[in-house]
Amino acid sequence: MGQAEPQPRRYTVEEYLAMEKQSEVRHEFFEGEIFAMAGADISHNLIGGNFLVAFKQALRGKPCRALMEGVQLAMQEGRHYTYPDVMITCDAADQQAKRIVKAPVLLVEILSPSTSEYDRGRKFNQYKQLPSLQHYLLVSQECWLVEWLQPLESGRWSHTMLLEPEDALAIPNLNINLTVGEIYEGTEVAPLKIVAEEYTVAYAGQRF
């Protein structure tokens, strides 16, 4: 008879939240299990910083907050907690929150090879359940590409791809008008056109 597979330890929400206050490594929480989050690289950090600076300037004078990385989101209180890369919340209760927010209007996830599938799939399915969420941004680190998702009255989500340097994330009610060029400013991430040209030259003459 083979040995039984060891089961992962399950934590209460209280244990998880207490641990996060002391831990140097951030963890996501889902139904009693915790998952360590990998550290961010420089491109990730710079892109997130560009969003945060632009959002803070745009929201000046508005009853909204732009938050980054270390702030938790209770996607389903008591069941699922995560750390979006950048958030905007205009909820009155969130304005008083010390560590955890519950009602973001905008979320940004900066993709990496290890998180891309999760951010597009299970995490997005969880985010869609937030009544407050109006904008979800998936931001590539491979090339200049921002995918902008917005809920429709039908229950589906629209999908807009921002590719060119002058393409803009324009959200009038939040006073946001941020171009792709500004999002990637100061990073070593290459525009999509350059990446596509390099790919074409590298694989010229080959068939797949």
Residue 119: which pLDDT band, with cuts at 50, 70 and 90?
confident
Q: What is the mean pLDDT of residues 64-87?
A: 86
78 in the Ramachandran plot: left (φ > 0), alpha (ψ -120 to 50) or beta?
A: left
- Report pLDDT for 115: 77
Residue at 35 is within a domain: no
pLDDT at 4 over 50: no
75-101 exposure pattern, b = at least 16 Cβ within 10 A, e = fewer: beeeebbbbbbbbbbbbeebeebeeeb
Residue at 26 is within a domain: no
Could you give the angle at the alpha carbon of 32 between the alpha carbons of 72 and 110, nearest 5°?
35
Residue at 10 is within a domain: no
| Residues 11-46 pLDDT 10s | 676 776 777 777 777 767 766 676 666 656 899 999
SS3 call for 140: coil
Residue at 110 is within a domain: yes
Residue 48: which pLDDT band, with cuts at 50, 70 and 90?
very high
Among 197, 203, 169, 187, smallest CA distance to 49 is for 187
Residue at 28 is within a domain: no
Residue at 92 is within a domain: yes
Q: Which of 2-11, 66-75, 186-195, 199-208 has the highest mean pLDDT?
A: 66-75
Total domains present in the chain? 1
Q: What is the mean pLDDT of residues 47-70?
A: 95
Q: Give dist(CA 85, CA 66) in Å, integer.
A: 11
Residue at 137 is within a domain: yes
Residues in the chain: 208
DSSP H or E segment with residue 135: strand 135-139
Q: Give dist(CA 85, CA 72) in Å, integer.
A: 10
Residue at 22 is within a domain: no
Give DSSP secondary structure letters for 83-99: --SEEEE--TTGGG-SS
| Residues 134-167 pLDDT 10s | 999 999 999 999 999 999 999 999 999 999 999 9
* C-beta neighbour count of 142 within 10 angstroms: 14
- Report pLDDT for 181: 97
- Contact between 169 and 182 (Cβ < 8 Å): no
Structural domain for 168, as ranges: 40-202
What CATH number is attached to the domain comprising 169? 3.90.1570.10
pLDDT at 9 over 50: yes
